[in-house]
Each structure stands twice: as structure tokens, then as C-alpha cells.
Amino acid sequence: MTTEPLLQVNDLEVTYQSRGLRRTSFKAVAGVDLQVQSGETIGLVGESGSGKSTIGRAILGMAPVTAGRIEFAGRNITHLPRRDRRTLASDIQVIFQDPYSSLSPSLTIGDTLAEPLRASGASRTEASRRIGELLDLVHLPSDALQRMPREFSGGQRQRVAIARSLALEPRFIVCDEPVSALDLSTQARVIDLLIEVQRRTGVSYLFISHDLDVIRVMSHRIAVMYRGRIVETGDGEQISTMPTHPYTQRLLLASPLADPAAQRVRRKEFQQLPAAEFLESSDI
């Protein structure tokens, strides 16, 4: 028996238009297929500019989709009008990279968490019960509620951003480089938290990062992006041991956590790749 994916992306294309005097267009993503099941994390990895965030934004209705289809829980959400988008806010949420700019500096943590709940029509009592649950879920003390974002470290702010994204019990979260701005030990704690939240709530993640090691820890399945296309998919083991695309091999070589012996073998294989073949197969 196969279960319906929670999110299904088919043949997605996104084209940005420049607004200058000379109108030019740039195809940032093309031919992208993606499926995400309930409770699953799909990791999107690739170099800067490969189109990872564009896919996330297209799912959130924030990118100019020029072809293809995006379905969420069986509903076509590719070009939803703004007012219908709002009805999706409780199902699809986002966590951004920068915990310093993603929280309003003039709101207490309590008001930050209450905002989406009040907007969804929750009563004061319901909101304060839910805020208690959220603090518990992300391991923040209850005295955090009266404090301002500036009183918290980057990792703690990211916990607040995660709590806010969970307020309406979403089924799907786009995590766009959520740990890239944090130091290594804080990264590990936030990753542990996201995994624990998934275990407790069954939420699905599209987890975007340029760091293959972070992606391997987080993801059930990995999609490697290169120049606007997915060039390889597999689980962490497959991607690490049997990469087929030269760009994935390059990512593995750059991985600081890679086993040095395996890295030596890969480096040798990589050096034996004829340069022309590398360029040709990368040039998609």
C-alpha cells in the first residue's frame, strides 16, 4: 500500500523577472520533482545560488512559479490567491536562517508567540495554554515570556522562532538554513530539537542547507541541487557511499566530518575524472 505524499511537487519551474529598464528573465529552478511524506524530512543541499530557497519560497507561495504543480494534502496550491494562502498558514510554516532579524525586536517573547494564535482566533485562555506547551516543546523557561529577543543568544532566539512556527500545529515546515548562522555546538542543539519536535508532533520538514553534514544528520532523504535542478536523490548512506553526480562528489570532498580514509579514496577517484566529462555532466 502506498500512502499519498503530504507534499507533491511536479516539474516545477520558477522564473524571476528583473524590474530594470531592460526586462530580463532568469530561470532559477527547472524540472524539479519532489515528494514529502508525513513525518519525513527531505534535505535539499547545494551550493549558493543553486535554487534551494527558491523551491522553499515556491511552496510558501512567495516565488513566481512559471510551470509545474505543487500539491499539499491533495490540494493544488500552485497559484493560490492571497486570501486562500492565509488558510494554509496553520498547515505550512517557515523557519529562516537569521534568528536576529526574524523576530520583532519590539515584541516580548510572550507576544511573539501569542501573535499567530490570536490571529487564528484563539481565546486568551487557549493562547496561554498553547504558549505553555510551546515553551515546554522547545525547552525554554516560562520567565522567557516577559523578556525581549535582545536578551537571548542566537540559539535561544532560534528556539523562539521554532516555537512560533509550531504555534498553529503545522504539518509542514520549510526550514531555510535554520542553523547556518549558529556556532557548531548550538547548531547541534537546534538540530536535536528539530528532530525531537518531529518525533513528538509528526511534522514534515523541507530542510535547506549548503552543508552536507548537517543535511545528513537531519534528513530521511536527500536531494542534491545543482544549477536549478535536482541532480541526485538518496538517503544519507547512498549519497555518501555511491554518489553518481560529480557535484555530489565535490560536496563529499568538502565535508569536514568525512572519514579521512574514504575521503582519500574519493579524492583519487575524483582526480581520475576527466575534466571534460566533469564539465559536461555538470553543465545541465
Ligand X SMILES: Nc1ncnc2c1ncn2[C@@H]1O[C@H](COP(=O)(O)OP(=O)(O)OP(=O)(O)O)[C@@H](O)[C@H]1O
C-alpha dist (Å) from residue 167 to 60, 126, 127: 17, 11, 9
Task: For the CB of residue 177, give the shortest distance to ligand X in the complex, in Å.
Answer: 7
Positive or negative, the CA dihedral 271, 46, 10, 41 is positive
Burial of 39 (0-12, 13-18, 19+ CB in 10 A): middle
CB of 25 to ligand X, least distance (A): 9
Show the cell assigned to 270.
Answer: 575524483
In whole angstroms, what is the distance from residue 103 CA to residue 164 CA? 10
Residue 172, C-alpha cell as written in the block? 509542514
φ and ψ at residue 132, rounded to 5 degrees: -60, -45
Least distance (Å) between residue 228 CB and ligand X: 7
CB of 16 to ligand X, least distance (A): 3
CA-based end-to-end distance of the chain: 35
Q: What dihedral do alpha carbons 198, 208, 248, 238 form, nearest 10°?
A: 10
Question: Cβ closer to ligand X: 30 or 114?
Answer: 30
Between 52 and 216, name the residue whose CB sits nearer to ligand X.
52
- In the numeric block, which cell numbers belong to residue 100? 536576529
Closer to ligand X at the Cβ: 220 or 227?
A: 227
CB closer to ligand X out of 16 and 278 = 16
Which stretches of the chain bind ligand X, using CB under 6 A? 16, 26, 28, 46, 48-54, 210
Nearer to ligand X by Cβ, of 47 and 111: the residue is 47
149 versus 211: smaller Cβ distance to ligand X? 211
SS3 68: strand
Please state, in angstroms and rounded to a whole number, the distance separating the CA atoms of residues 107 and 145: 10
CB of 281 to ligand X, least distance (A): 20
Residue 27 CB, shortest distance to ligand X, in Å, is: 9
